[in-house]
């Protein structure tokens, strides 16, 4: 009979769209009164009062009193809430629930049997749960932030903002999970890198509860990476500079030592040359012949201070003395001093040719014609030089080399082709070491050592090549 009545009532509730169902909202953890008041005058002794709790049409009797006596004492542990039977006579059968939990939500029905009929009241209880304060963490690897909050109901709205008022929520993803207690745990992830200092806040909104909880975090953008950058630069720059310095140093060392080694090698070769050789310089006064000899000796004798071995800048009667200057034990530089006037060779040739023919070595003597770049070549001069060249070839088998001195005075390039055309195998240009100016440099030394080396090489020209040259010309 009783269950039939309950069923009928529930049917009525459903049919009428629960229009007379009172709705109350309780916050999880709080205490709540579910009111049930009726006309006290109609209350009779022995008549029962009971409470049902229904969840999804599954109804359980939670209170049942008859004649003020608890009928459910055996189920005391499982039932929820408490009524005050001594208040029934006052028409008050309200249910008190302490520490409301999610399981307390649902439809409550209070029924009292009164004279003249039943009194029934329906109360729909909604339980909301307040989210715990959110935890905000920054991921170490990726530029992301995680905001998490537990044990709330219903699902929360999570928003992300900056202190500047910026809304970062569009960059976030929020997920809810329902835990066994019927509560939601929410996790929201914001993926964003900040270029400027910012305070990032996440807010968990429980809208029905009109409650929000916020947590903020100071973001100092790329400070770590900046520090790393500076650290890296602080180590890399000196290392790079060191390596660069090493490279440059090594290259300079190589360059110097190569030049140095080269000079030493040339000097060694000259000193070890054991064929008795006379280098014959032919030239007119003031063409720098003495200076050229001095230069060769100075370049060769690397350890010695400059000396006027060949007697440069001397006037008569010591002019062009000594005639021969020894370079090494076996190599001597001698000079054939011609007259300064136009026909400088024609007037001298017989005596010199005679002398050279008598000299044993002169079949292999390196002859060098010395010409200053200051002097222009006149037609007569050219003619004389050509005759000289032919005569030297007739004696030695080769045309003489040419040494153009004072190369910085006049354009040596004008003179070079003339001597090349005459058959001079080598045309050297020099800036001599002089009495006034003899600052030694590797480059200058090298030029004179090159010259001496070429002279030595000339003595080594094989006989057949000499013959070949003679036939050619």
Ligand X SMILES: *[C@@H]1O[C@H](CO)[C@@H](O)[C@H](O)[C@H]1NC(C)=O
Ligand Y SMILES: Nc1nc2c(ncn2[C@@H]2O[C@H](COP(=O)(O)OP(=O)(O)O)[C@@H](O)[C@H]2O)c(=O)[nH]1
Specify which residues 138 forms β-bridges with: 145
Q: Which residues pair with 331 in a beta bridge?
A: 277
93 touches ligand Y by CB under 6 A:
no
58 contacts which partner out of ligand X, ligand Y, none, CB within 5 to 8 A by kind?
ligand X
Is residue 402 involved in binding ligand Y (CB under 6 A)?
A: no
Q: Which stretch binds ligand Y (CB under 6 A): 101-109, 162-170, 289-297, 386-394?
A: 289-297
Residue 186, binding choice from ligand Y, ligand X, none, Cβ under 5 to 8 Å by partner class: none
Would you say 75 or 218 has its CB closer to ligand X? Answer: 75
CA dihedral 416→418→419→424, nearest 10 degrees, is 110
Q: Based on the shown chain and the rule CB under 6 A, indicate whether residue 287 belongs to the binding site for ligand Y.
A: yes
CB-based contact 217:145 (threshold 8 Å): yes
Q: Among 422, 348, 337, which Cα is nearest to 385's?
A: 422
Nearer CB in complex with ligand X: 60/386:
60
Residue indicated by tokens 């770590």:
224
Distance, in Å, from the CA atom of 345 to the CA atom of 385, rounded to the nearest integer, reads 7
Angle 366-371-375 (CA atoms, 0-180°, nearest 5)?
Answer: 170
Least separation, in Å, of the C-beta of 43 and ligand X?
Answer: 14
Query: What CA–CA distance (Å, rounded) separates 356 from 346?
Result: 16
Nearer to ligand X, 37 or 187 (CB): 37
Q: Does residue 334 touch ligand Y according to CB under 6 A?
A: no
DSSP bridge partners of 387: none
Q: Return the residue of 52, 186, 312, 368 that touches ligand Y, per CB under 6 A.
A: 312
Region 434-473 residues binding ligand Y, contact defined as CB under 6 A: 434-436
313 binds, among ligand Y, ligand X, none (CB under 5 to 8 A by kind): ligand Y
Q: How far from each other are the two terminal CA atoms of the chain, in whole angstroms? A: 150
Which ranges in 16-152 belong to alpha helices (H)? none
Residue 19 or 56: the one with the smaller Cβ distance to ligand X is 56
* 47 lies in the site for ligand Y, by CB under 6 A: no
Among 431, 446, 450, 461, binds ligand Y (CB under 6 A): 431
Distance separating alpha carbons of residues 71 and 65, to the nearest angstrom? 6
Is the backbone peptide bond immediately before 317 cis, with ω within 30 degrees of 0?
A: yes
Question: Checking phi first, is residue 11 left (phi over 0); if not, alpha (psi -120 to 50) or beta?
Answer: alpha
Indicate the helix (H) or strand (E) that contains 327.
Answer: none
Residue 259 structure tokens: 């030049």
Write down the least CB distance from residue 158 to ligand X, Å.
32
Instruction: List the structure tokens of 468.
Output: 């070949």
Residues that bind ligand X (CB under 6 A): 37, 58, 60, 84, 87, 92, 94
Indicate whether 168 belongs to the interface with ligand Y (CB under 6 A): no
Judged by CB, which is closer to ligand X: 84, or 250?
84
CB under 6 A: which stretch of 77-85, 144-152, 195-203, 429-437 binds ligand Y? Answer: 429-437
Q: Does 290 bind ligand Y (CB under 6 A)?
A: yes
Give me the residue label for tokens 């939601």.
184
Shortest Å distance, C-beta 403 to ligand Y = 10
- Looking at the Cβ atoms of 46 and 58, the one nearer to ligand X is 58
Closest separation in Å from C-beta 462 to ligand Y = 33
Pick from ligand X, ligand Y, none: which does 280 bind, CB < 5 to 8 A by kind?
A: none
CB of 171 to ligand X, least distance (A): 43
Binding at 366: pick from ligand Y, ligand X, none (beta carbon under 5-8 Å per type): none
On whether the CB atoms of residues 414 and 375 are closer than 8 A, the answer is: no
What are the structure tokens assigned to 398, written together? 């080769």
Please report how close the Cβ of residue 421 comes to ligand Y at its closest, in angstroms. 23
* Min CB(241)–ligand Y separation in Å: 43
Residue of 185, 216, 186 lying closest to 202 (CA atoms)? 216
Structure tokens at 21: 């169902």
> What is the C-alpha radius of gyration for the chain, rounded to an integer number of angstroms?
61
User: C-alpha angle 270/275/278, rounded to 5°?
Assistant: 80
Report the residue from 81, 152, 288, 423 that binds ligand Y according to the rule CB under 6 A: 288
Q: Which is nearer to ligand X, 96 or 242 (CB)?
A: 96
Alpha-carbon gap, residue 369 to 287, rounded angstroms: 10
Cis before 41? omega within 30: no
Cβ at position 150, least distance to ligand X in Å: 25
Residue 290 touches which of ligand X, ligand Y, none (CB < 5 to 8 A by kind)? ligand Y
* C-beta of 198 vs 447, nearer to ligand Y: 447
From candidates 174, 188, 398, 405, binder to ligand Y by CB under 6 A: 405
* Nearest residue (CB) to ligand Y, 288 versus 400: 288
Per CB under 6 A, residues contacting ligand Y are 283, 285-291, 312-313, 405-406, 430-432, 434-436
């Amino acid at each position: 009979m009783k269950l039939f009545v309950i069923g009928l009532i529930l049917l009525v509730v459903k049919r009428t769209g629960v229009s007379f169902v009172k709705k109350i909202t309780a916050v999880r953890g709080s205490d709540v009164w579910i009111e049930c008041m009726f006309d006290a005058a109609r209350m009779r002794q022995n008549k029962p009062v009971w409470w049902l709790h229904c969840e999804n049409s599954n109804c359980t009797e939670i209170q049942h009193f008859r004649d003020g006596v608890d009928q459910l004492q055996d189920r005391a542990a499982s039932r929820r809430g408490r009524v005050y039977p001594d208040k029934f006579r006052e028409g008050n059968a309200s249910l008190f629930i302490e520490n409301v939990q999610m399981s307390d939500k649902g439809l409550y029905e209070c029924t009292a049997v009164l004279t003249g009929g039943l009194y029934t009241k329906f109360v729909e209880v909604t339980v909301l749960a307040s989210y715990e304060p959110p935890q905000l963490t920054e991921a170490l690897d990726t530029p992301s932030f995680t905001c998490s909050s537990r044990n709330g109901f219903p699902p929360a709205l999570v928003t992300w903002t900056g202190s500047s008022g910026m809304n970062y929520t569009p960059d976030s993803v929020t997920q809810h999970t329902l835990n066994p207690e019927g509560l939601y745990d929410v996790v929201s992830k914001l993926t964003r890198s900040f270029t400027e200092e910012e305070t990032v806040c996440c807010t968990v909104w429980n809208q029905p509860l009109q409650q929000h909880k916020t947590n903020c975090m100071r973001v100092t953008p790329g400070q770590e990476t900046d520090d790393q950058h500076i650290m890296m630069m602080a180590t890399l720059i000196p290392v790079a500079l060191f390596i660069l310095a090493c490279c440059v140093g090594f290259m300079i060392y190589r360059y110097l030592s190569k030049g140095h080694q080269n000079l030493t090698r040339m000097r060694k070769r000259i000193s070890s040359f054991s064929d008795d050789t006379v280098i014959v310089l032919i030239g007119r006064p003031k063409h720098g012949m003495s200076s050229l000899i001095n230069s060769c000796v100075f370049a060769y004798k690397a350890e010695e201070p400059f000396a006027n071995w060949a007697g440069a800048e001397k006037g008569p009667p010591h002019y062009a003395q000594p005639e021969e200057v020894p370079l090494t034990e076996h190599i001597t530089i001698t000079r054939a001093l011609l007259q300064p006037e136009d026909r400088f060779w024609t007037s001298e040739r017989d005596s010199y040719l005679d002398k050279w023919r008598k000299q044993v070595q002169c079949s292999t003597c390196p002859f060098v014609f010395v010409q200053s770049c200051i002097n222009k070549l006149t037609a007569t001069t050219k003619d004389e030089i050509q005759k000289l060249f032919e005569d030297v070839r007739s004696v030695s088998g080769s045309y003489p080399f040419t040494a153009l001195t004072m190369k910085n005075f006049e354009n040596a390039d004008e003179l070079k082709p003339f001597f090349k055309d005459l058959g001079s195998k080598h045309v050297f240009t020099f800036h001599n070491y002089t009495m006034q100016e003899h600052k030694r440099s590797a480059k200058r030394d090298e030029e004179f050592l090159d010259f001496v080396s070429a002279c030595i090489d000339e003595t080594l020209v094989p006989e057949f090549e000499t013959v070949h040259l003679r036939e050619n010309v």
